[in-house]
Structure 1
Amino acid sequence: MTEGFKFKPKFMDMRIRPPKEGEEKTRRPEDDVLHLKPGEKPCEWPECHKAATAKAPKSREMMNEHYNFCVGHAAEYNKNWNFFAGMSEGEARRHREAIATGDRPTWAFRASRLSREAANAAVKGTNSKTFFDPHSVFGAGAAPMRDKGEPAVRQYGKIERAAFADLDLEVGATAEQIRVRYTEMLKRCHPDNNGGDRSAEDKLQRVIKAYKVLKKMSLA
């Protein structure tokens, strides 16, 4: 570059002309090329010029055809749209069942009472105390078979077993045994009966709590 060349920047007036009177009111947002980005669709809600970012079905008969809405108008459309509008209660129920089953016929998941499987299950249920068919799939009943004179065995949970242990009783003790042991433990662990010694106070609290648990479970 020769010494005689000098760069002279050219300045241009970039000021924006203010709109004329009445021009701003007649200008529509969609006329602005910067309003929507390339590839965006305008919202189809009347007088809305935002970009459409959500779809809403046109009707239950045209589930594959959609309106293009902005998020706000899609939410308003869906809030007021009732899929079952115009249907009777029976038609709506049948439609819900068709959706749940894929519009295919269904059958009960159980053998017929005249089938070979049901007869075989009935024989096993009669001859066995351990056969258990809780859902009555083979028509054998909803409870395990046991002798008529055999009493039901009560099952005790972790809390009940801990309560029996705090009272120094075997699991399954009778209500009378529980009350007698509770009275005995109160006298034995109370500080007034130990010359003011509070070493057994923790045991006393556990005994009282255990008795309350068993009483609440209708065991005492």
Structure 2
Amino acid sequence: MMKRRNTRPRAFDPDPNAPQCCCDMPDCASPAGYRAPRSRDALNQYYWFCLEHVRDYNARWDYYKGMSTAQIEAQLRADTRWDRPSWAFGQSASSRRAAPQDDDILDPLDILGQHRQARAERARAQAAPRTPSALREPLAILGLPWPVSLEEAKTQYRALARKNHPDTNNGSRAAEERLKQINVAFTIVKTHLLTENLEKTG
């Protein structure tokens, strides 16, 4: 009995439409048979690698590299609905088109203006990156907002250290305890920012 030959390509077989060229990895002369996107902004433009280098490239690929937490969340929300607009359940297209805008309504007492300001403040709060939970207390001790740069944290730390040093407060025990808290808070913030910078550049 003849054994039927399996003609299906294996998952790691080269792309039959690959260009006849060498691997795009510098100093590699192997044939290029596998494609990989150049960046998240150019998913239809490809590098062509050999099997070894496409595996290495894919292992290092990070679609969200360089994006903030808010940008990643927005991208994930868009992906779950295939980048199509969405509306509240039960809201018809005609009602969306007919919805009046605040600017279309005569408001001599500026009653709607208060609502517009509240909505703007909510929008700003939602757009701002969320403070990492581990940094909330240290940032509060240092009196710093989030996000913050390492240089800003250093400047604020120096100012607080000078202000709360026991030598400038007649040897006050309260100032000494406050300085200890400031030192711990700054160490936590500095470590987080240095780790974050390494992850972005790595």
For Structure 1 versus Structure 2, the TM-score category normalised by the shorter chain is 0.3 to 0.5
Higher relative contact order (CA 8 A, sep 6+): 2
TM-score, L = length of structure 1: 0.31
TM-score, L = length of structure 2: 0.33
More helix as a share of residues = 2
Larger Rg: 1
